[in-house]
Amino acid sequence: MPIILNHQLRERIPHDPAVFPITFFRDELAALPDHTGPLHWHPDFEIATAMSGVLDFQVGRQHIQLEPGDSIFVNGNMLHGIRQVSGEVSDPMPNIVFSGAVIAPETGAIYRKYIHPIACCDTLPFIVFTRENGWHREVNRILRDIYRRMQEKDRCYEMAVQRGLSSIFEAIVLHFEVLPKAEAARVKIDSQIRLQKMLTYIYDHYAEAVTLEEIAGAADVSRSEAGRCFHTYMDCSPVEALIRYRLQTACGLLKSTAMTLQEISDACGFHSVNYFSRRFRQAYGHSPGQIRALGK
């Protein structure tokens, strides 16, 4: 299932919070150009596991490399994205997105004592569970069981998943003092919000002629501040981020439609087919026609 964003880059999670507020994803990277997912956020927790490739997980400004067998817990409301950096075949990367209410009611003592403090911890944007650490190994074992049960949905799977997540949070609470912390991670929320606004403008207007002034204006910042914000989070300029998104969109159209290269070029905001083809080859190592023929 692809990542679906609303106009605030907030991922639309398909689970029903009134029923069982957790959703299981698998093989998302296979459907993403260059095995790269967009920066996005959601109020729920997320846990993902690298299975066969090396994954670069960006959380806020920080990049974390996951080796096969490693998992990452991403706290709620943190801007994050994913890119596979090794392996020819897309990593299945099983992951779950869930509310703390799956463990205990938000009005109850368990939630207030154990879940809420983690969700509101300014210095805990993420936790990495490596395949080598002792208690991390147990967390990864529990995660594999949760993924299996969420996929198979056998009898009483909800209770087993709830037990598993409860055990993971218990482990986090018990080892909280030794977990690596970030320095005031959420103090940077203003720059994150600015980036969200500018990316939203790009996602809404990529097919049009877009200027740097318009991108910066979406967040009511100067062009230089817009540049600093994009370079901090995405290591590129605002205009380069626009081109990247245009190319990602074009790649999807090549795979899913019979549109001509001219039509795709126009639909994605490029001023000429030649320029589109040149940038596409620079980004993906193949021409648009080759990507379509190979089905990559």
Q: Which whole number is the average pLDDT over 2-23?
A: 58
Of 1.10.3290.10, 3.30.930.10, 1.10.10.60, 1.10.10.410, the CATH number of 186-294 is 1.10.10.60
Given this model, what pLDDT does residue 186 score? 47
Structure letter (DSSP) for residue 141: H
Q: Mind giving me the DSSP string for 9-56?
A: SBB---S-TTT--EEEE-S-GGGSGGGEEEEEB-SSEEEEE--SS-EE
Sheet of strand 80-84: strand arrangement:
36-40, 80-84, 55-59, 62-66
CB count in 10 Å sphere of residue 187? 11
Contact 65, 53 (CB under 8 A): no
Q: What is the pLDDT of residues 240-254, one digit of tens each?
A: 999 999 998 998 899
pTM, two decimal places: 0.78
CATH superfamily of 22-183: Regulatory protein AraC (2.60.120.280)
pLDDT-derived band at 85 (thresholds 50, 70, 90) equals very high
Considering the chain, tell me which residue range(s) the CATH 1.10.10.60 domain(s) occupy: 186-294
More confident residue, 194 or 129: 129
More confident residue, 1 or 40: 40
Considering the chain, tell me which residue range(s) the CATH 2.60.120.280 domain(s) occupy: 22-183
Q: What is the pLDDT of residues 225-235, one digit of tens each?
A: 999 999 988 88
What percentage of the chain carries pLDDT values higher than 90? 67
Q: What is the pLDDT of residues 158-172, one digit of tens each?
A: 999 999 999 999 999
pLDDT-derived band at 75 (thresholds 50, 70, 90) equals very high
Instruction: Taking the CA atoms of 132, 138, 144 and 150 in sequence, report the sign of the dihedral they define.
Output: negative
Given this model, what pLDDT does residue 188 score? 66
Q: Which whole number is the average pLDDT over 268-290?
A: 91
